[in-house]
Amino acid sequence: MRRVYIITGANGHLGNTLIRILRKTEVEIRGLLLPTEHRKERENIHYFHGDVRDTDTLSSLFEGLSDAEVIVIHTAGIIDIAGTVSSQMYAVNVEGTRNIVKLCQEYGVKRLVYVSSVHAIPEKRWSVQREVHHFSPEEVVGGYAKTKAEATQLVLDAVSEGLDAVVVHPSGIIGPYDSSGNHLVQMITDYIRGKLPACVRGGYDLVDVRDVAAGCIAAAEKGRTGECYILSNRHYEIREVLGMVREYGGGRRLPTLPIWMAKAAAPLLGWIAKKRHRRPLYTRYSLYTLHSNDKFSHEKASRELGYHPRDLVQTIQDTIRWERGRRMTAN
């Protein structure tokens, strides 16, 4: 029986990385793009245009597959560091996931892999954080986290109704192949171009997008139904990351602001970013995140999925190489 992977958010950082990995295998790939997005098709890659908020636009993505083993990896979502739940983010992250779940049930897919986030996991301030099996928006901080928590619980509820689904929780994704505006990749490019005004004290668990993609595929193949898997790496200080970037891509040393000063300066930094036509990276919510507990254990994913994240040095080198190549092509 032929195997078909449906990838939502196919133009996103994780979505297009998944397709890069899967296209080297003998599976058929269907990628979901927004109506305004375009990507080149290949022999085993076909793109469909639609919007997860509108099920009428999604039916063609699932049709004609009655003779296939279908796996859906749902990566489509809005990542926002503003801190509040916008109506658009809720519609995409929660209602969009609800629509994908319904279609998976209607068309009898073999498995759904839902890409959640470590932000959906309620923070335990001092202990190592591991997988949990209940999620609530009331237990997490920030709009993005709240929508991912609600959507994750929605997927797990569908498992109790008979859907074969697995949840993965990536930490802070970074790496090459991004053309969708990843905030962490923007930090690297802004720094190299001299557009990052300052470094801040703090850090987060950062993981290579290729390792997350491999973890998603492993979850599709090896994950246990109804289980959650953290796809993390380890904590990296922001100044440590920028030091790697400076070594391989250049850049000047920046002042490192303590967190209290960064919070006070957030409006000014936001104004500077706006004047430079860049999104602000240091918001009150992103600064909160840099000092939250990011001690996430990926031991379960390593044991059950064979998940092993790489050192960030290689990730930074490859990201800089990719961004330079992209700029040369654009010019």
Percentage of residues in the chain having pLDDT higher than 90: 71
DSSP line for 65-119: -TTEEEEEEE-------SSS--HHHHIIIIIHHHHHHHHHHHHT-SEEEEE--GG
Topology of domain 2-180+206-233+295-307, CATH: Rossmann fold (3.40.50)
Q: At residue 331, does pLDDT exceed 60?
A: no
- Mean pLDDT, the chain, whole residue set: 92
Indicate the length of the chain as a whole number. Answer: 331
pLDDT digits (tens, 9 = 90+) for 119-162: 999 998 889 999 999 999 999 999 999 999 999 999 999 999 99
Kindly indicate the confidence band of residue 178, based on its pLDDT and cuts at 50, 70 and 90.
very high
Residue 9's nearest CA partner among 81, 114, 84, 90 is 114
SS3 (DSSP) at 147: helix
pTM: 0.94
As given in the structure block, the two tokens for residue 95 are 């209602």
List the single range of 56-65, 80-89, 95-104 with lowest mean pLDDT. Answer: 80-89
User: pLDDT at position 300, please?
Assistant: 98
CA distance 143 to 270: 19
Kindly indicate the confidence band of residue 276, based on its pLDDT and cuts at 50, 70 and 90.
low
